[in-house]
Structure 1
């Protein structure tokens, strides 16, 4: 959509015509001291709470109170297989088959578990490629895997860097790294959407490139799940991990998700850390049987599911199931493009958007670089009723979430930013 207009009337008109605008009322919107809705553009750090979440969790608390241990089999949503209630919806969110997806553990723990299976270093091939400005936890995780296997964590890590004076990564540079070092690389592990710039990578292109050079390929989709159409199955990636507390609105520190491509589903020879919840469901409670891995992503579980966290995930996923990623993505593109349009109308040379302009190369996050700014700019925005996210040295990350943000949110945010800069 390119026929945007300045002025609040246009924003109001877009909200009136938005078929998803009613979903805003299904979320708790933080309020300022006067009781007015804040402009919440920080769902890329922590998604807002669906109003239904309390009921979903209370259901499990009631069943625990009334049934005790019997809740495992007799709760309204029996706890024994609770994670299975999430599988189909989560698979649709990330573009995978149900056998390829499981909700378990937390993000970086899942990354380690995946690397146990898919980072298989040898004397000749042990290096790992990661983007230079990856989320720190990813970098720390892969460095620790190198050390764990006895390799130098600096020499063994190859960084896909942006060129001098640029923020966005170029595929030609990744190709050059693999052309030079491909025979040394065991794993390519990239953030599907970069947390800082908001650049959404072509997962299929990266996977095909890595596989061409004999590497395993995995993605951290923390900033992609619930934000963009990941199409993980079609990408061909060996594995992916993500959290659910950002775009998937499951609450602070909630569980993560794992994708393992179906070509690995029945490979019981793959090295993995195991626990009783990855064991054959039919014989799990016989207790004394030898380990027998469940086919698919479920075979990477260790422990029985934490029900209260999963209940919060279910509350959010039921909304995603109702709408579908296609409709969410359509609104996201329009809302983000409108946000971009308004920022460009500010007419202040100190403002620069470092997120890609191409809507196929980004989600809803726009990373706004403000020349000579420091955190005081972010603090002034907060005082003006805008909750955004500051990243050093000079970037404000804003994510207009299609589930609960409006065109008027975006309009008022830009107006308040303009007033602060003036």
Structure 2
């Protein structure tokens, strides 16, 4: 009791208690202040995140609206150009004489073909076509402009030739142009041989200059080269005669990559290739020997002529192989080729190109020369078999 009264009346104890209480209050307020500050910062961060999100959404929406406006303006411009072209063709009676009354069926067909052409044109292409039509001197020249555009789309693969009859390119004109283009391409391919700097660019310029067609890309030229090599270009007999007339006495065979599709033996069998090569060499030596029997030579020549006449369709392929045979091949190079064919057979599954590896194994010979050598040997084996029969 007395102790409690002393503590209550002692100012020092009272002061100590007040200080402890004040410290607790201050600590409590500090915690509350820190909590309020953290809450405010979190709120500000959330508001900033929401603001950025809304801003991005607004920008994306604005961009979509602008893109939509641009697309709509482009569509409107295309519709305007197409309408102008349709009105032009209609005002010229679809390129028929004014006195001609078109039947409903013919009119529907020509409108359908015109729509097919216009639907595959971009805005720039539609504008160009409309300007060329407006600049045409007469109805016939305007029709030619439209036919040229249809021919371009057909060649590009956008339209099928069988769906465009009235506005499609004339068969005779198309055939002649195709013949001239093929002849120019073959001459260019043989003029600018592999190894020439910017070879395909020079071939493109040459073909464009001599055929009147626009320059082609390297990919298009390489594709055309493969088509010509494998005979995928369909020409009738008249076109073939025209092509032969255009080439005159020049060599119009593409010899860049000799084809070996016509071979009937497995040239990748090095054992067989070596044996038959030796046989060919032996027979060639006997044929060149002064002691050869003349009647036998005449018989062989007659047989060769008979074979040549019977195999006229493969004359060019044999010619390519003969050209390749004129290149000098030493015995060591021949051995290296045979070993490489054995090391890299036809079923080679490596990532590198098989013929590149074969060429690398033969000293002083390129990939083309190695393929041509194999082609030549195969043709010689076939010829020897035909003669023996």
Structure 2 length normalisation: TM-score? Answer: 0.22
Greater percentage in helix: 2
Structure number with bigger Rg? 2
Normalized against structure 1, the TM-score is what? 0.20
- Structure possessing the higher relative contact order (Cα contacts under 8 Å, 6 or more residues apart): 1
Q: Which structure shows the bigger proportion of residues in strand conformation?
A: 1
